[in-house]
Structure 1
Amino acid sequence: MGVRRWIGSWPVYRQATGSDPLGRGAAAKSGASERLKPRVSTADQVVKSVCPYCAVGCGQNVYVKDDEVVQIEGDPDSPVSRGRLCPKGSATLQLTTGPAREHHVLYRRPHGTEWERLDLDTAMDMIADRVIAARRHGWQWEQDGDRTRRTLGFAGLGGATLDNEENYLIKKLFTALGAVQIENQARV
Structure 2
Amino acid sequence: MGLKTWLDHWPVYRQLTGTDPLGRGAASKSRRRAELTPRTATAERVVKSVCPYCAVGCGQNVYVDDGTVTQIEGDPDSPISRGRLCPKGAASEQLVNSPTRETKVRYRRPYGTEWEDLDLDTALDMIADRVIQTRRRTWQDTDEHGRYLNRTMGISHLGGATLDNEENYLIKKLYTALGAIQIENQARI
Instruction: Please report the TM-score for the alignment, with normalisation by the length of structure 1.
Output: 0.82
Q: How does 1:87-102 map to 2 (within 5 A)?
A: 87-102=87-102
Deviation at 1:44, TM superposition (A): 1.7
Residue type at the aligned position of 1:172:
K
SS in 1 for 2:155: coil
Quote the Cα distance in structure 1 between the aligned partners of 2:106 and 2:27: 53
Report how far residue 185 of structure 1 moved: 3.7
CA contact (8 A) 1:55 1:187 kept: no
Q: 1:70 to 1:147 in 2, by over 3 A?
A: same
SS at match of 1:154: strand
Distance of aligned partners of 1:14 and 1:100 in 2 relative to their CA distance in 1, 3 Å threshold = farther
Q: Residue 116 of structure 1 aligns to which amino acid in structure 2?
A: E
Alignment of 1:111-130 (within 5 A): 111-130=111-130
Q: Secondary structure at the match of 2:154?
A: coil
Given the alignment of the two structures, is residue 56 of structure 1 paired with residue 53 of structure 2, yes or no? no
Structure 2 stretches lacking a partner, 5+ long? none
Deviations 1:75-133 (A, max 9, x none): 11212111111111112113322212211110011222211001112111111111112
Aligned CA distance change for structure 1 residues 81 and 114 (closer, same or farther; 3 Å): same
After superposition, where does 1:146-185 map in structure 2 within 5 Å?
146-185=147-186
Root-mean-square deviation over aligned CA pairs: 2.8
Q: Taking structure 1 as reference, are residues 82 and 143 closer, same or farther at Cα in structure 2, changes over 3 Å only?
A: same
Q: Which amino acid aligns with 1:71?
A: Q
The residue aligned with 1:68 is 68
Structure 2 equivalent of residue 137 of structure 1: 137
Task: Deviation per CA, 1:49-94: give whole Å up to 9, x if none.
Answer: 1111111111111112223322110011212111111111112113
Match of 1:30 in 2: 30
Give the TM-score of the pair, scaled to structure 2.
0.81
Conserved? CA contact 2:8–2:14, under 8 Å: no
Identical-residue share of aligned pairs (%): 66
Cα distance in structure 2, aligned partners of 1:14 and 1:183:
65
Instruction: In structure 1, list runs of 5 or more residues that go unmatched.
Output: none
Structure 1 distance, partners of 2:175, 2:24, is 54
**Counterpart of 2:84?**
84
CA distance in 2: counterparts of 1:184 and 1:107, whole angstroms: 26
In the alignment, the residues of structure 1 paired with residue 187 and residue 8 of structure 2 have an alpha-carbon distance, to the nearest angstrom, of 53
Provide the rounded CA distance (Å) in 2 between the counterparts of 1:26 and 1:163. Answer: 48
In 2, the alpha carbon distance for the partners of 1:140 and 1:83 equals 50
